[in-house]
A and B are shown apart, each in its own frame.
Chain A
């Protein structure tokens, strides 16, 4: 019997969906050889098994172990190119996902990998930064700062030692694209960091990976080892070494100064800026801290030119956006699209409507610090400017959809409790304000809140926004205040009957 090659994702989420059960059940079957790839990101279809056909790959969805005969016989498969969720996307950074084996350097190279690094090798450091300026790439971690400006500062700083740090502390709930990159295409992150190292003159790099992502940290360690063996990392023409460092469960360590404190082994407490890390970062040396997705975007920019990247997207937001859809939708998963599509487009065309039995109530973008949007505001385009105009953020691109069963008072309390838990304690308004905010919402929850409490909450929110050093304190009031703004009756109906005015 001929052995057939089939493809199954080895991503954490695919395993959580049951990919491991298939691999175990089929490990002894002679008719099939399983290749473990990255995941395409269409998680509602996982575990998904693919096989090669003359017309490209065919896929079987939500596979159970006893589906093997069907797959071997080729019955009931769907061409991958015909899956609307994937077909409507524009995949650049995530082009390899679902296709290659994550740790196969030759496959990465065969699909255009390392071209960006080669292009960077033929450019002067100034020319690399110029290419990024033309590309108009903005940091993908949440702050959306122009990448080239940061790099230029670090490049012009004179120091015998400089560092490149990948921020893999993907703490925003609802986001998982950094985890997917590290598990699914680790060489892309390494390549992006190496390009940055050459541009600014750094010889050491760190990947600060959150403790919740053990598989991603392991994949990165293997990939670094492979890159080292292939003489890619520490080559003769450019010495560079890379290390994975684990965090220990602190949300605020996603903020760059706190991250560097943690990397040095101290409490992850936010520091006042300036000095910016690009001037004085890790151990007081010039340091570029960027999000994993930002680094992973860079190889394509160098390979295809900055002008190519600038030709995609909208005026202020060039390139593609990695949207991570979750919550009560039918089709949660990773969506890479050019900036400019509206929120409604994403929910309708990709989300596939609400999960069975649920009705839309609100959507939250940007993790636990992001604003809530009701049905009436869904026509907002996904780009930095449009979001800034309404006082919202895109953050790291996580979109969570809430249904009619969601209790907005409980949700608001959850956000304040989260901030109270995660506040590093540096700024008093955040440290104490979040606890007071939680207490007010708990009071409302048990029917003892008054109308003054809602005024107090909004006052507290404005204080936190104005007086916190980092985005945790500065953005924490947004989900709470937008919940009150869009669903006032849920809060008012819970106020005490003895409240002076309602």
Chain B
């Protein structure tokens, strides 16, 4: 698995190698790696820096700056709870607490260990249907705490 990951990383990186006289784009390369692997492993920083022709510090700087870039593998499903003002006004914080509780209760079951990663997001642009919860690519609007159980069940 590890070897496969390494070749995969090299292949992805190759597509990001800047052409002669072109400017390297660190963010684009990191987003490409993340979309191929789900995250950007920090031990790949030297290799990324070398292919792009920039310093390791520059790569690490970009990687730590953007909140959507992750250095740890996420769970099978990524839950993002919107914490924008409209969702705040509509008690999105209660939805967030309920989701955390659901996951804490299920954490005792070892098969559930890598099921979910929960994050807050700043605004999903779904303000007219607050509160908003995004699970993977699915956006759900008008979510109440009592919806949480039925909302998360299908994602195993």
Contacts of A176 in B (CB 8 A): 125-128
Encode B34-64 as 1/0 by CB contact (under 8 A) with A.
0000000000000000000000001001100
Task: Determine whether A328 belongs to the interface, using a CB cutoff of 8 Å to chain B.
Answer: yes
User: Considering only CB atoms, which chain A residue lies closest to B30 in the complex?
Assistant: A248
Q: Given contacts A264-B25, A266-B62, is CB(A411)–CB(B130) below 8 Å?
A: no
Query: From residue A216, how far is it (CB to closest CB) to chain B in Å?
Result: 8
Taking CB as reference atom, which chain B residue is nearest A41?
B128
Q: Select which of B58, B91, B123 is within 8 A of A172 by beta carbon.
A: B123
Residues of A contacting B: mostly: mixed
Count the B residues whose beta carbon is within 8 Å of the partner chain — how many?
A: 42
The verdict on A213 contacting chain B, using a C-beta distance below 8 Å, is yes
Tell me whether A44 and B128 are in contact (CB under 8 A): yes
A-B contact count (CB 8 A): 144
Task: Find out whether the CB atom of A13 lies under 8 angstroms from the CB atom of B126.
Answer: yes
A17 touches B142 (CB 8 A): yes
- A325 contacts B85, C-beta separation under 8 Å: no
Pick from A246, A268, A325: contact of B128, CB under 8 Å = A325
In the docked arrangement, what's the CA distance between A41 and B26, Å?
37
List residues of chain A with CB within 8 A of the CB of B88: 411, 414
In the complex, per-residue mask of A182-222: 1 if CB is within 8 Å of any chain B CB, else 0: 00000000000000000000000000000111100000000
Given A12-B125, A173-B84, A179-B125, do A248 and B27 touch, yes or no (CB 8 Å)?
yes
CA distance A250 to B139 in the complex (A): 20
Contacts of B28 in A (CB 8 A): 245, 265
Q: Which residues of B contact A411 (CB under 8 A)?
A: 88
Given contacts A214-B137, A265-B28, contact A324 B68 (CB under 8 A): no
Number of A positions contacting B (CB below 8 A): 58
Evaluate contact between B125 and A267: CB separation under 8 angstroms.
no
Question: At the interface, yes or no: B24 with Cβ under 8 Å from chain A?
Answer: yes
Q: Decide yes or no whether A371 CB sits under 8 A from chain B.
A: no
Q: Which residues of B contact A267 (CB under 8 A)?
A: 61-62, 65
Q: Which residues of A contact B29 (CB under 8 A)?
A: 265
List which A408-451 residues lie within 8 A (CB) of chain B. 411, 414, 418, 421-422
Interface hits, B117-156 → A, CB 8 Å:
121-130, 132, 137, 139-142
CB within 8 Å for A265 and B62 given contacts A12-B126, A13-B141, A283-B23? yes
Residue pair B126, A173 in contact (C-beta under 8 Å): no
**Does B86 interact with chain A (Cβ within 8 Å)?**
yes
- A-contact 0/1 string along B104-125, CB 8 Å cutoff: 0000000000000000011111
List B contacts of A226 (CB < 8 A). Answer: none
> When chains A and B are docked, how far (Å) is the Cα of A249 from the Cα of B68?
5
Please pick, from A172, A212, A403, A414, the residue contacting B124 in the complex, using a CB distance under 8 A: A212
Select which of A12, A325, A326 is within 8 A of B139 by beta carbon.
A12
Q: Are A15 and B85 in contact (CB-based, < 8 A)?
A: no
**A-B residue pairs in contact (CB < 8 Å), sample of 20:** A12-B125, A13-B126, A13-B128, A13-B139, A16-B140, A46-B129, A170-B125, A173-B123, A174-B84, A174-B85, A175-B123, A245-B28, A251-B122, A265-B29, A267-B61, A327-B86, A398-B86, A400-B127, A401-B89, A414-B88
